[in-house]
C-alpha cells in the first residue's frame, strides 16, 4: 500500500499536511501520535470515509483514492467497535459475507472460523449489548477479518479497555496478525503499544510524519525532539547544558536507562561522559526507580534504574545527594528541532 | 422542602381541581354513552349497550369511520416516507440553508389550522383538484410530516455514525446500509411517529373542513353535524367514547416505544 503526497483540509484547518508512506504486504504498521496529529484522518482516508484534498492512495498498485469504502479491499476495526446492536454476534460477523453474497454454507464455516480465532465460539447468539468491552472488541475484529481483506485498519481498538485487558489483547492481536498474514495498519497514541506490536511505525506530529522506522530504530535513534519526547522520556540537553556536557551547540538526548549513577569520586571509563549533579527527586515505580537529577551546568536529566538491590527506602533516601552521572558517548543522540515539539518551543517563545 | 400544612393542603386541592376540570367532562360523556335515556339528563336512568349496537349499524357513522381510517393511514404513510427522507437529508448533508430548511419543516405545526386549511383549499381549487379523500390526506399530511420528521431526526441525532460506516466498510452499498442498518435503528422512532401522526389525523377537524368537500365526511365532521340532531345524541356519545380510545391509545403506545430505552 502506498500513500503519495496525501493532504487533507477541513475548512481552514490542515489536518494532514503531506504524507508519503509505503507499507509492505503482511506488515504490522503503526501510526503513532498525539490526538490531532492526523493519524486517524489518514486512516479514514485509507478506508475511504474521507477524500484527500490532494494526493493518491494506491492499494496493490491500483489507485483507490476515488473509490467508495465498499469498493475497497480494506476493512476497519473502529474505536467504538461500531457493532450492529440489532444483530447477534454471528450476524454481525457474517454481515460482510452476506452483503457480498457469499454462499450460506461457506459463510457459516468462515464465521465459525473467525469466532474461533478470537475465542468467542460459544457466543454466536448473543447480542452486542450482552458482551463485555473486550468481547465486543473481539467481535469487531472477527467481523473485519472474516472478509480476508488485503489490509486491516485498526483505529485505537484497545483504547476503551482497561490496562490488563489491553496488554492481553496486544499479544493476541499480534499473534492473530502473524497467523492470518494480513497487513495491519494500527493507529494509537500509546507509544508502548506501538513499540510492542509493530514491525515498523510512523510517528505523527501536526499532520506530518516525523520519523518512520522499526520500534528499536525510532526509540534508540529518534531524529527529532518531538520523537524523542513522545516515544519514551525526552531527556533533552540544550543550550548551556549541551555546551557544558557534550561540548557543542545543539539539542542532544540520552535515554534514561543508559545513564548510571555514581558518587562524585567515580572516574569515567574510556568513551564515557561524566556530569555532576544533585538528585532533586526520586520516584519509586515498582520494578524501577526514576531519579530526576539537576545538573550543575544547568538542565535536568532523568535516570531510571532497575531496583536490583535497592529497596524503596534506600532509593528514596538518596534525594538531595550530590552524584556523578556517567554514560557512553555513543548513546548521545543529536536531534533536529521539531516544529511543534511539546513544551520546548512554546517556552522559548514566551520567555524574552 | 418544608411547606406549611396549609400550603400542602392547598396544592393538593389545586391538583384535584385541575384533574377534575380536565377529566369530569370526559367522564360525563362516557356515562351518557351507557345511559338508556335518549335525553341527556342527570342522573342516568340505567345501563345499556343499546347505543353501541345502534352506532355500529348507523351507515353514516360507518362511512365516516372508514373515511377517517383511510385518511389516517394515507396521511401517516405519506408523512413517514417524506418525513424520513427529509430527516435523513437534513441530518446527513451539510448544505447552504440547512437550519432554515429544518425550521421550515417544523413551522406548519405552529400555523393555525384555519390558515393551513384555507391555503390548501385555494391551492386545490386553483389546480382544479376535486375535493375528497385525496385532498383530506394531503391536508393531514402537512402536519403529520412534522411529527414523523421530528421523531426520526431526534433519533438520528442520538445514533452513532460508525455503524453505518462499518457497514459501508464491510462492502454494503448505500441502499443496503440504509435497509439493513439505518432503518432497523430508526424503526421504533418510525412506529411511534406513525402512531402519533395517525392519532392527530384521526381527530383533526379544522383542516379537514376546508379540504373535505361536500361528499366526504370524517368522524369528527360527522359528530359536528350530528350534535344538531337531538335524536342522534346517544350515538354521538358512543362515537366520542370510541374516539377517546382511538386517540389516546396510540399516544400512550408512542410514548412507551419512543421513550429512550437503552438496551
Q: Note the pLDDT of residue B259.
A: 52
CB contact under 8 A, A129 and B172: no
Lowest mean pLDDT among A72-76, A345-349, B218-222: A345-349
Residue B50, domain member (yes or no): no
Q: Please state, as a whole number, how many other Cβ atoms lie within 10 Å of the Cβ of residue B93.
A: 8
pLDDT tier at B82 (50, 70, 90 boundaries)?
very high
Average pLDDT for A63-86: 92
| pLDDT over 90 (residue B4) | no
Find which of A10, A99, A102, A137 to mutate to test the B interface (most B CBs within 10 Å of its CB): A99
pLDDT number for residue B251:
80
pLDDT digits (tens, 9 = 90+) for A288-317: 889 999 998 888 899 998 888 777 777 788
Q: Is the pLDDT of residue A346 over 60?
A: no
The average pLDDT across A108-120 equals 92
Q: Whole-number mean pLDDT of chain B?
A: 86
Q: Which domain holds residue B141?
A: 59-258
pLDDT above 90: residue A238:
no
| pLDDT of residue A352 exceeding 60 | no
Residue B171 touches partner A, C-beta closer than 8 Å: yes
pLDDT band at A339 (very low <50, low <70, confident <90, very high): low
B166 touches chain A (CB under 8 A): yes
On chain B, the residues whose CB falls within 8 A of the CB of A75 are 169-170
**Closest CA of chain B from A70, distance in Å:** 4
Please indicate, yes or no, if residue B98 is contained in any of the structural domains: yes
Q: Are B51 and B238 in contact (CB under 8 A)?
A: yes
Kindly identify which residue of chain B lies nearest to residue A130, measuring between CA atoms. B263
pLDDT tens readout for residues A125-163: 999 999 998 899 999 999 999 999 999 999 999 888 888
Nearest to B170 among A48, A85, A99 (CB): A99
Chain A residue numbers with beta carbons less than 8 Å from the beta carbon of B168 are 48-49, 68-70
Q: How many domains does chain B have?
A: 1
Chain A interface includes B3 (CB < 8 A): no
Give, as one character, the DSSP assignment of residue A336: B
State the pTM of this model.
0.77
pLDDT value at residue B108: 79
Query: Please, how many CA atoms are within 13 Å of residue A193, restricted to the half-sphere of its CB?
Result: 26
> What dotted CATH number matches A1-61+151-227?
3.40.50.300
* Selected residue with higher pLDDT from B173 and B44: B173
Residue from B155, B159, B163, B170 to probe the interface with A (highest A Cβ count within 10 Å): B170
Instruction: Indicate if the pLDDT at residue A345 is higher than 50.
Output: no
> From the CA of A295, how many Å to the nearest CA of chain B?
51
Q: How far is A61 from chain B (nearest CA, A)?
A: 20
Quick: pLDDT tens for B221-237: 888 888 888 778 888 88
Q: Which CATH class is domain A233-334?
A: mainly beta
**Separation in Å, CA of A83 to nearest CA in chain B:** 6
In a domain, B6, yes or no: no
Here the CATH number for the domain that contains residue B163 is 1.10.3720.10
pLDDT tens per residue, range A6-32: 999 887 788 898 899 999 999 999 999
What does the alpha-carbon distance between residue B221 and residue B243 come to, in Å, rounded to a whole number? 12
Question: CA–CA separation, A171 vs A154, rounded Å?
Answer: 15
How much is the pLDDT for A341? 42
Percentage of chain B lying above the pLDDT 90 cut: 33
Q: Are B168 and A68 in contact (CB < 8 Å)?
A: yes
- Site from A51, A84, A91, A139 to mutate, B interface, most B CB atoms within 10 angstroms: A84
More confident residue, B259 or A74: A74
Which of A69, A78, A86 is closest, CB to CB, to B162? A78
Mutate to test the interface with A, among B92, B161, B169, B182 (most CBs of A within 10 A): B169
pLDDT at B1: 59
pLDDT of residue A240: 80
Residue A100 C-alpha, separation from nearest chain B C-alpha, in angstroms = 7
Residues 6+ apart with CB under 8 A from A140: A77, A78, A81, A82, A83, A157
User: Is A100 in contact with B176 (Cβ distance < 8 A)?
Assistant: no
pLDDT of residue A239: 80
Which pLDDT value is given to residue B3? 73
Asked whether residue B207 is assigned to any structural domain, the reply reads yes
**What's the whole-number mean pLDDT along residues A43-72?**
92
Chain B positions in Cβ-Cβ contact with residue A110 (cut-off 8 Å): none
Residue B258: the pLDDT is 62
Please report, for chain A, the start and end positions of each structural domain, with discontinuous segments joined by +. Answer: 1-61+151-227, 74-148, 233-334
Over residues B23-33, mean pLDDT = 88
Residue with cell 424520513: B84
Instruction: Return the pLDDT at A184.
Output: 95
Per-residue exposure over A175-214, b if at least 16 CB sit within 10 Å of its own CB, e if not:
ebbeeeebbbbbbbbebebbbebbbbbbbbbbbbbbbbbe
CB of A166 within 8 Å of a chain B CB? The answer is no
Please say if the pLDDT value at position A282 is more than 80: yes
> Searching chain A, which residue's CA lies closest to the CA of residue B185?
A86
Find the helix or strand (DSSP H, E) in which B88 lies.
helix B59-92
Q: Which residue of B has its CA nearest to A71?
A: B171
Q: pLDDT tens digits for A171-203?
A: 989 999 999 999 999 999 999 899 989 999 999
CB pairs under 8 A between A and B: 66
CA dist A57 and A52 (Å) reads 9
Q: Is residue B13 part of a domain?
A: no
Q: Which of B92, B94, B158, B166 should one mutate to test binding to chain A, selecting the residue with the greatest count of A CBs within 10 A?
A: B166
* Residue with more model confidence, B58 or B39: B58
Decide the pairing of beta strands A74-77 and A151-155.
Answer: parallel
Q: Which residue has the higher pLDDT, A351 or A324?
A: A324
CB proximity B261 to A under 8 Å: no
Task: Please check whether residue B3 lies inside any domain of the structure.
Answer: no
Amino acid at each position: 500500500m502506498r500513500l503519495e503526497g496525501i493532504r487533507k483540509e477541513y475548512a481552514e484547518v490542515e489536518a494532514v499536511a503531506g504524507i508519503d508512506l509505503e507499507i509492505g504486504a503482511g506488515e504490522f504498521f503503526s501510526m503513532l501520535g498525539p490526538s490531532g496529529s492526523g493519524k486517524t484522518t489518514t486512516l479514514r482516508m485509507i478506508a475511504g470515509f474521507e477524500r484527500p484534498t490532494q494526493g493518491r492512495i494506491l492499494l496493490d498498485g491500483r489507485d483507490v483514492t476515488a473509490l467508495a469504502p465498499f469498493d475497497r479491499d480494506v476493512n476497519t476495526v473502529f474505536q467504538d467497535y461500531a457493532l450492529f446492536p440489532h444483530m447477534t454476534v454471528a450476524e454481525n460477523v457474517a454481515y460482510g459475507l452476506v452483503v457480498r453474497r457469499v454462499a450460506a454454507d461457506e459463510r457459516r464455516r468462515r464465521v465459525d472460523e473467525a469466532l474461533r480465532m478470537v475465542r468467542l465460539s460459544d457466543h454466536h447468539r448473543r447480542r452486542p449489548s450482552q458482551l463485555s468491552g473486550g468481547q465486543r472488541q473481539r467481535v469487531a475484529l472477527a467481523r473485519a477479518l472474516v472478509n480476508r481483506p488485503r489490509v486491516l485498519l485498526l483505529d485505537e481498538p484497545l483504547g476503551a479497555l482497561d490496562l490488563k485487558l489491553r496488554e492481553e489483547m496486544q499479544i493476541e492481536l499480534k499473534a492473530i496478525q502473524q497467523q492470518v498474514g494480513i497487513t495491519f495498519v494500527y493507529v494509537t497514541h500509546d507509544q508502548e503499544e506501538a513499540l510492542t506490536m509493530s514491525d515498523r511505525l510512523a510517528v505523527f506530529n501536526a499532520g506530518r510524519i516525523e520519523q518512520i522506522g522499526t520500534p528499536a530504530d525510532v526509540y534508540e535513534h529518534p531524529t527529532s525532539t518531538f520523537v524523542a519526547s513522545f516515544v519514551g522520556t525526552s531527556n533533552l540537553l540544550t543550550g548551556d547544558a549541551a555546551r557544558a556536557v557534550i561540548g557543542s551547540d545543539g539539542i542532544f538526548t540520552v535515554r534514561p536507562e543508559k545513564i548510571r549513577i555514581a558518587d562524585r569520586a567515580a572516574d569515567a571509563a574510556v568513551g564515557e561522559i561524566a556530569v555532576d549533579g544533585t538528585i532533586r527527586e526520586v520516584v519509586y515505580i515498582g520494578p524501577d526507580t526514576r531519579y530526576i537529577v539537576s545538573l550543575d551546568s544547568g538542565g535536568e536529566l532523568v535516570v531510571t534504574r532497575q531496583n536490583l538491590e535497592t529497596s524503596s527506602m534506600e532509593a528514596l533516601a538518596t534525594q538531595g545527594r550530590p552524584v556523578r552521572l556517567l554514560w557512553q558517548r555513543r548513546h548521545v543522540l543529536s536531534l533536529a528541532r521539531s516544529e511543534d515539539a511539546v513544551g520546548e518551543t512554546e517556552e522559548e517563545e514566551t520567555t524574552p | 422542602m418544608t411547606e406549611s400544612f396549609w400550603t400542602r393542603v392547598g396544592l393538593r386541592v389545586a391538583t384535584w381541581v385541575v384533574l377534575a376540570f380536565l377529566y369530569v367532562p370526559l367522564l360525563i360523556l362516557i356515562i351518557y354513552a351507557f345511559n338508556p335515556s335518549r335525553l341527556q339528563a342527570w342522573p342516568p336512568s340505567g345501563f345499556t349497550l343499546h347505543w353501541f349496537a345502534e352506532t355500529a349499524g348507523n351507515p353514516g357513522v360507518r362511512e365516516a369511520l372508514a373515511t377517517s381510517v383511510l385518511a389516517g393511514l394515507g396521511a401517516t404513510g405519506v408523512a413517514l416516507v417524506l418525513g424520513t427522507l427529509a430527516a435523513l437529508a437534513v441530518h446527513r448533508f451539510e448544505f447552504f440553508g440547512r437550519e432554515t430548511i429544518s425550521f421550515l419543516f417544523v413551522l406548519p405545526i405552529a400555523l393555525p389550522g384555519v390558515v393551513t386549511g384555507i391555503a390548501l383549499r385555494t391551492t386545490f381549487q386553483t389546480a382544479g383538484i376535486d375535493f375528497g379523500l385525496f385532498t383530506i390526506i394531503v391536508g393531514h399530511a402537512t402536519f403529520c410530516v412534522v411529527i414523523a420528521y421530528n421523531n426520526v431526526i431526534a433519533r438520528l441525532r442520538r445514533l452513532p455514525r460508525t455503524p453505518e460506516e462499518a457497514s459501508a466498510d464491510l462492502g454494503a452499498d448505500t441502499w443496503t446500509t440504509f435497509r439493513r442498518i439505518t432503518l432497523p435503528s430508526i424503526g421504533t422512532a418510525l412506529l411511534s411517529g406513525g402512531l402519533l401522526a395517525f392519532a392527530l389525523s384521526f381527530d383533526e377537524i379544522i383542516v379537514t373542513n376546508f379540504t373535505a368537500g361536500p361528499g366526504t365526511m370524517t368522524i369528527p365532521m360527522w359528530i359536528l353535524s350530528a350534535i344538531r340532531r337531538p335524536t342522534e345524541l346517544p350515538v354521538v356519545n358512543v362515537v366520542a367514547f370510541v374516539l377517546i380510545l382511538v386517540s389516546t391509545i396510540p399516544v400512550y403506545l408512542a410514548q412507551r416505544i419512543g421513550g429512550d430505552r437503552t438496551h
